[in-house]
Structure formats: C-alpha cells, structure tokens
Amino acid sequence: MTEETPQPGPAAPGAVVTLRQVSVRRYTTDQVILDDIDWTVRPGEHWALLGANGAGKTTLLRLLGALMHPTTGAVEVLGSRLGRVDVRELRARIGHVTSAQRVPQDLDAHTVVLTGHTGTVQPLWRMYDEQVRQRAHELLGELDIKELADRPYGVCSGGQRARILIARALMAEPALLLLDEPFNALDLPSREDLVEAMHRLAEGRPRLATVTVTHHLEELSPAVSHALLLREGRVLTQGPVDEALTGTWLTACFGRPIAVNRHEGRWWAYSGRQGS
C-alpha cells in the first residue's frame, strides 16, 4: 500500500487568509523555500512578519497577494482558494505596497492614488469620475498628506512616497493590505510619520487586516497585534505580539542574543556581544 498524502483541513470561517500545510519548492533545484506553513489572518488583525534574509518572507507575502501558487497545501485569500479562482480578480481586492513599485516620477500624488482605482501604472482618465477623484483626495487626507496632491511623485521624500502608495492601495477598498518593507531607507522623522499613519489607519478601519514585512521592531505601530517569525522557511512561532516578540523567540529566529523592550506600545530590540 502507498501512503496517502494528508489533505489540508477546512479553512477558518470568516478568515481573510488561511494557509494549511503550505510548502513552496524551487523546481530547478528542489530547494525548500517554505515548509509546512499553517497560518490564519482574521479581519482587524495586524501582523508583523519577521525573519532573517532568506527566511521566506517575500515568498510568503507573494502567496498572500495571489502572485504565486504553493507547491503543496492550500492557500485561501478572501474566501477564494488559489488554483480555483481568477487571480486577476482576486488581486484587485488586495492592497499591495512595496518600495519597488513602478510609479512614473512625473505623476502628481493625486494621480498616483487615482491609478489604484484601475490597478494600472499610467492613469486611465476616462475611468475616473468626480466621485473617484474625490475619494483619492480623501485618502490623501486620511494618510495626512493632502498637501502633496499636486506635487510630483519623483520629488516626494521616501516617507511621503510610502504614504502615497498606501493611499493608492486603499483605492480598491481592500480587506487585506500587504506591506513589503515600507520603511526601507526612511530617516527617523519619515519613519515616525509612517508609523503614526499606520496607527491611525488601523483605528479608522477596524475590519482591515494588514501584514507588514519588516526587519526592525522599531517600525511597528502600536496597532500591530500579532507576529509570525520565520526561520529557514518554517514558522518558528506565531501569535499575539506579547507572546511572539520576546527576546527568547527573536534570539532563536536570528541566531544571536537579542533583548526586547516595549514602552507605550512601541518596541525596540538590540543585540549584545555574543558570549558576553
């Protein structure tokens, strides 16, 4: 008799994302990128996704964004299972923000946000009626950058660009917002502006779920409720931040002694000398 491959169980009712026994292998080398991942994200949860370079964070985020399929296991996003749904329609309901996003530098901030309505790089002017244009202005206000409406994207600071891209992602009224290292290369004031913006966004949209890939605990807003730590493609731990973001777990995740502190909802971590 041959051993049957175990089948993934049912998805969590009402979940935004459910991953069950998910693995990803690189076909050319048979390298395991993700191995046996189980994870559920529910409405209103805000997850931090942490791990060393090469741990599988980007691949995991691509699964959540319906940008790739797992090798084995089941991925359900917004009630639809990958492999059984038109991913183009599904992607339109997911907000995805990355600093590598291609944006024409000469477009003003309001126009960049407008393109989120059509999911295009260049504006499709016939698709933007007055209601859509007004919504773009409102989103700029929600991210506290309404004064940038007429400013070319190319001359905005890194922090301003990040908030413009978040506003753009929100044009589709997503239930899930994915942020791939949105704090990359930001200076301290820009980082703090973005942290505050993410906190206000979570308070104003109680059903929105977010997943943020980051390398630094200092970048997490007080709204972050859960964390998942990856090590070499496997889940090391996951759960509420108070349980997952501890010195013990982060030490195991990054392979060196790490101390963790929290004050007024904000986190910071540092590593002392090994063996000291």
DSSP 276: -
* Cα separation values, 189 from 52, 186, 268, Å: 25, 8, 16
Residue 4, domain member (yes or no): no
- Residue 257 confidence (pLDDT): 94
What is the predicted pLDDT for the residue at 35?
95
Instruction: Give the residue among 127, 146, 151 at the shortest CA–CA distance from 136.
Output: 146
Question: If you write DSSP's letter for every residue of 41-52 in order, what string do you get?
Answer: E-TT-EEEEEE-
pLDDT in tens, the chain (276 residues): 344 445 555 556 689 999 999 999 987 787 899 999 999 999 999 999 999 999 999 999 999 999 999 999 999 999 999 989 888 889 889 999 987 788 999 999 999 999 999 888 888 999 999 999 999 999 999 999 999 999 999 999 999 999 999 999 999 999 999 999 998 889 999 999 999 999 999 999 999 999 999 989 999 999 999 999 999 999 999 999 999 999 999 999 999 999 999 998 899 999 866 554
Interior angle at CA 34, CA 16 and CA 68, nearest 5 = 60
Q: Are the C-beta atoms of residues 152 and 110 closer than 8 Å to each other?
A: no
CA–CA gap between residue 34 and residue 31 (Å, rounded) = 9
Residue 1 has what pLDDT? 38
Asked whether residue 82 falls in the same domain as residue 106, the answer is no
- Same structural domain, 62 and 87: yes
d(CA 202, CA 46): 8
29: in domain = yes
Domain assignment of residue 162, given as a range: 97-172
Query: Do 178 and 62 lie in a common domain?
Result: yes
Tell whether 165 and 241 lie within a shared domain.
no
pLDDT given for residue 7 in this prediction: 56
> Would you list the DSSP string of 130-175?
HHHHHHHHHHHHHTT-GGGTTSBGGGS-HHHHHHHHHHHHHTT--S
**Cβ atoms of 119 and 65 closer than 8 Å:** no
What are 146's two structure tokens?
Answer: 């309404």
Residue 221 inside a domain? The answer is yes
* Total domain count, the chain: 2
| Beta strands 46-51 and 209-213, pairing class | parallel
pLDDT for res 8: 58
Rounded-to-5 percentages of helix, strand, coil across the chain: 35, 25, 40
Question: Is 274 inside a domain boundary?
Answer: no
Asked whether residue 188 is domain-assigned, the answer is no
**Radius of gyration of the chain measured on its C-alpha atoms:** 19
pTM score of the predicted model: 0.89
**H/E element holding 212?**
strand 209-213
CATH number at residue 33: 3.40.50.300
| Same domain, residue pair 124 and 58 | no
The overall longest dimension of the chain from CA atoms, in Å, is 69
Residue 19's pLDDT is 97
Residue 230 counted as domain residue: yes
Q: How far apart are CA 178 and CA 169, in angstroms?
A: 9
Q: How far is CA 32 from CA 24, 49, 55, 173, 259, in A?
A: 6, 19, 11, 34, 30
Q: Name the β-bridge partners of 32.
A: 25
User: How far, in Å, CA of 109 to CA of 107, rounded?
Assistant: 7
